[in-house]
Amino acid sequence: MLALYHFDRSTAAQKVRLALAEKGMAWESRYVDPSFDKRQQHDPDYLKLNPRGVVPTLIHDGKVVRESQVILEYLEDAFPTPPLRPADPYARAQMRLWSKLVDEHLHVDSRTIGQCVAMRFVTLQAGADVLAKHYAAMPEEARRDNDFVNNKMGLDSPLLPGAVRRFKQVFGDMDRALAVQPWLAGESFSLADISLCVYVGRLASFQLADVYADLRQLAAWFARIKGRPSWAEAVEKWGDTSSLARAKHGKDALPKVKLLWDAG
């Protein structure tokens, strides 16, 4: 039996749902409500499963697997058909080089951009007392400190320029790779594509696609992924409860983000 603790807009959860959909696997949904009046990711019972207080967490026959990139590899090991890793050793190494960018910086950078551009407004609406409890309950010091700076300073956060610059580098590298091959790791769709496509989708959800509009190979690749049945099943089906805030505040932030992108 497979069960997944997740929520709608989490890029980390989207990746795992994509892999499950690509493999055609049935799983039990255990939705973790991150809203400030629930904060289920900080519930003591959930923290026993995931001490970081984040999603996703996979349960497979009673065994707990956490961290999205680890979960993707676990699913591939446990359920190798259809394969989402290339058979060729070199292509598989390329897949892992792309995928490791997520844990090196891309996921944290994505959260920085999201908080600075739009999600800070959702956070600040919660009120000082609720926000204080939220920060106090966050298990990870670095995550809490980054959020505090980004929520307070928004587009003036000292963490934003570096996050935008690193996104520009990764997206440019992807565009160049996709100019000579259909997928990031070569001829076959793989965990590399699953790992990175959600971050293209994340920037697009903030109405920031204009900053990388010149990356035509990237755009064509993302369109192919969105055309796969797994995208509708794993991403569109679950929606985004913060989509209105993303759209409104993302449009407002676009000029500043574009300046940072062009300067990167």
Domain positions in the chain are 2-78, 89-263
**139 near 53, Cβ under 8 Å?**
yes
pLDDT digits (tens, 9 = 90+) for 176-193: 999 999 999 999 999 999
> How far is the C-alpha of 257 from the C-alpha of 261, rounded, in Å?
6
What architecture is domain 89-263? Answer: Up-down Bundle (1.20)
Q: What is the pTM of this model?
A: 0.96
Q: What angle do CA 71, 58, 15 make, to 5 degrees?
A: 50
**172 near 138, Cβ under 8 Å?**
no
Q: DSSP secondary-structure letter at 158?
A: T
DSSP state string for 166-228: HHHHHHHHHHHHHTTSSBTTBSS--HHHHHHHHHHHHHHHTT-GGGGTT-HHHHHHHHHHHTS
pLDDT digits (tens, 9 = 90+) for 210-259: 999 999 999 999 999 999 999 999 999 998 877 787 888 999 999 999 99
Q: Which CATH superfamily is domain 2-78 in?
A: Glutaredoxin (3.40.30.10)
pLDDT digits (tens, 9 = 90+) for 122-133: 887 887 888 888
